[in-house]
């Protein structure tokens, strides 16, 4: 039998018009959203453009009005002078040591403690976790002086070890990792126990490989916070050989004048390691932040 031709009623045109209007509205919405995002991104990047432009000028040209975004006579020698005027290489070394060591230790302590709070069952676990997380609300200024007195009594002032010990544990890091652990099915751990794995094996072979986004997020946050830290090194480090890059920038400021062009040149170089870490981990950083905010 021959198939009967399909008859289209008058409503089909209306359906097509409705779909076309919806697609057109969605396209306009996307254009508006992306335009706003581009404008916001440009506005946020303006300070970085100004910093790079200022690093290639003379000191008396840095604050000139109107701003000359592209220097007519770029002073590339500024990037050579900063290495000879102050021990910038040593400052970078100290900052890198602190950032890498503190980040690594925080990853270990935070992930291990978070595993205990999310997977282990013991009396008072939830109360202990709330008490520990509650320390985030305590301002650093409240215990700054007791910490300094304690470090001085231990003879650790003016040593990088003092900052490493004080920043090796993070309540926020434990909270971030625990929130991610809560989203991992408990059945995976139970299956591993049946197969003979102990808690250390479950933590190392099952939990950690599944938490790469959270680890990347904590890595970026800790590294950036340690690299940009000013008050900690300012309080505990006094000798020039132990100073960090943030303290080293202050050496371009004298009593009566400041070498702004050199400050900007050194600032550009100090941003590069942070940008490199973020660019290599940004995919997992966004995923980890989004996921940890939905679980737990």
Q: So what CATH class is 78-292?
A: mainly alpha
Model pLDDT, residue 227: 93
Tokens of 129: 């976790």
CA 57 – CA 79 distance, rounded (Å): 11
Model pLDDT, residue 162: 92
In the chain, where are the structural domains located?
A: 12-54, 78-292
Model pLDDT, residue 9: 52
Model pLDDT, residue 295: 46
What are the phi and psi torsion angles at 258 (to 5°)? -140, 135
pLDDT tens digits, 148-160: 999 999 998 899 9
CA dihedral 209, 210, 216, 221 (to 10 degrees): -120
Per-10-residue mean pLDDT, the chain, length 296: 51 62 81 93 91 90 85 89 90 94 94 87 86 87 88 90 91 88 82 82 84 86 92 90 90 78 90 86 66 47
Q: Whole-model pTM?
A: 0.80
Model pLDDT, residue 40: 94
CA 287 – CA 182 distance, rounded (Å): 16
Model pLDDT, residue 143: 86
Tokens of 84: 């000879």
């Amino acid at each position: 039998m021959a198939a009967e031709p399909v008859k289209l009623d008058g409503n089909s045109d209306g359906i097509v018009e409705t779909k076309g209007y919806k697609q057109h509205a969605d396209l306009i919405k996307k254009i508006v959203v992306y335009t706003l995002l581009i404008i916001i991104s440009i506005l946020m990047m303006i300070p970085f453009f100004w910093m790079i432009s200022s690093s290639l000028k003379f000191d008396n040209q840095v604050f000139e009005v109107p701003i000359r975004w592209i220097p007519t006579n770029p002073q590339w020698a500024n990037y050579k002078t900063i290495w000879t005027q102050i021990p910038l290489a040593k400052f970078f070394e100290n900052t890198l040591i602190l950032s890498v060591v503190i980040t690594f230790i925080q990853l270990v302590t935070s992930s291990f403690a978070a595993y205990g709070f999310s997977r282990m069952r013991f009396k008072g676990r939830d109360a202990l976790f709330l008490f520990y997380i509650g320390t985030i609300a305590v301002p650093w200024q409240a215990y700054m002086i007791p910490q300094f007195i304690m470090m001085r009594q231990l003879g650790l002032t003016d040593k990088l070890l003092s900052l490493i010990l004080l920043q090796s544990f993070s309540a926020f890091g434990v909270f971030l990792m625990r929130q991610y652990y809560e989203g991992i099915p408990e059945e995976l751990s139970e299956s591993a126990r049946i197969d003979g794995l102990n808690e250390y094996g479950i933590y190392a072979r099952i939990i950690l490989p599944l938490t790469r986004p959270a680890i990347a997020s904590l890595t970026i946050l800790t590294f950036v916070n340690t690299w940009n830290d000013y008050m900690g090194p300012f309080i505990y480090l006094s000798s020039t050989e132990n100073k960090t890059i943030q303290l080293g920038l202050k050496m371009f400021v004298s009593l009566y004048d400041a070498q702004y062009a050199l400050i900007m040149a050194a600032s550009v170089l100090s941003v590069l390691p942070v940008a490199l870490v973020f660019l290599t981990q940004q995919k997992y950083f966004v995923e980890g932040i989004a996921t940890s905010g939905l679980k737990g």
